[in-house]
Chain A
Amino acid sequence: MNADEGRPDIETIFHAQYERITRVIARVLRDPSRAEELAVEVFLKWSRNPSAQGENAQACLYRVAVRAGLDELRRESRRTRRERALGFFRKSPTPEDVRASREDQERVRVVLAAIQARQAELLVLRTQGLSYDELACALNLKPASIGTFLSRAEQAFRKEYIKRYGQQ
């Protein structure tokens, strides 16, 4: 008896989940086209891991997606810091950069890149509308402790935000 029998194939899951997964990543990143590229990488990574393709496929995909997005966000954040440090090498900002930097989105992204990875993952997936059970499944946490983790993550977010931008 083949264990794969009855399991939907990878492309069917791709069709069903691609949009949601891309939206999770696009919440974190400023550039939607980069989010689409990363979503494909998420599916590739997931498709190479047979143990991630069981009943919890969706949860695994969310986990990999939010991590990929946050990793990319941190990379961007480090790059920006480096460019600021090397002020004379910095390119002049494009109108798009200027507009984006004025938006509150950018502040939220900076704060997400600064707090603990697990807390940022939890907050991003929560804003995507995942239930506590889905969050627990995606992040390998006990469902009963999700409330506590979420509360701590929110506190950490608020603290970091106020530290950087003040109470608004």
Chain B
Amino acid sequence: MDSNKDQWVDERLAELRPDERWQPDVYRGLARFRKQGEKVRDRKQRWGWLVAGAIAAGLPLIAVPSTWASTRAFAQRCVSACVGQSNWVRDMFVHNVPSSVYVKPGDRRMAPDFVLNDASGEPVRLANFRGRVVLLNFWATWCAPCRIEIPWFFEFQNTHWSAGFTTLGVSLDQDGWDAVKPYVEGHKINYRVMVGNDDVAQLYGANSLPTTFLIDKSGRIAATHIGLSGRGEYEADIRTVLDEQ
């Protein structure tokens, strides 16, 4: 079979013979081999630790019900950070949530009462606002969709105050007034803001932020907005409830 070999091709391929003076350095190669092998092992180990750490951190959070609130808050914080950055994330997570439910006057339930302190330390009782339409907004300073809604609430407060409308904000920031006060002062929020707690959030079932309730003059929940609703939806609900006798 060798006799059939193409001599012409062999001659061309013989050109590829490396320079005879060149000698591959086995020891340099071996050192490189060991070093790169260690790098690969280190990388695998790092990934292993990362996965183990994530499981070790995640399991207790899932297993212990008392940590669910903080886990949820953390997850919300992550989603909100994404929502704040990107419109398509907002579309995916926020706009798809059924956000607005208006309840006919005959079917409404009473809004649970609560007392919380405002920024000046003065207690604010929800029941004291009977006779006015109240927009009760659960929010947090880190929640990007909440920050989108707040300027709308300014305007509602200005526009409808004289018609018997009040906005109340309940912040669920875990850092309390340390986080909320600078935000309220910095943005010159023109309505009363309180720092809430898990008990109040549970009373209203405010499991995600923002969650907003529109409470009629009799203290009953007339509308619920979960997630980032449209400004027009708020406006329409406020007008409807204000017009009710």
Where the two chains meet, the residues of A that have a C-beta atom closer than 8 Å to any C-beta of B are: 11, 14-15, 18-19, 22-23, 26-28, 32, 35-37, 39-41, 43-44, 47-48, 103-105, 107-109, 111, 123-124, 126-127, 132, 147, 150-151, 154-155, 157-158, 161
Contact = CB atoms under 8 A, between A and B. Distances in A.
Nearest to B37: A44
Contact of B24 (A22, A104, A105, A161): A22
B4 to A, nearest CB: 6
Contacts, number: 92
A73 to B, nearest CB: 11
Contact of A32 (B9, B10, B16, B18): B18
A31 B137 CA distance: 69
A127 B14 contact: yes
B23 to A, nearest CB: 8
Q: Is the interface of B mostly helix, strand, loop or mixed?
A: helix
Contacts of A47: 37
Given A14-B29, A39-B29, A40-B36, A32 B13 contact: no
A161 B12 CA distance: 10
A69 to B, nearest CB: 10
B24 A39 contact: yes
Interface residues of B, number: 28
B24 to A, nearest CB: 4
A44 B36 contact: yes
Contacts of A48: 40
A40 B5 contact: no
B9 A14 contact: no
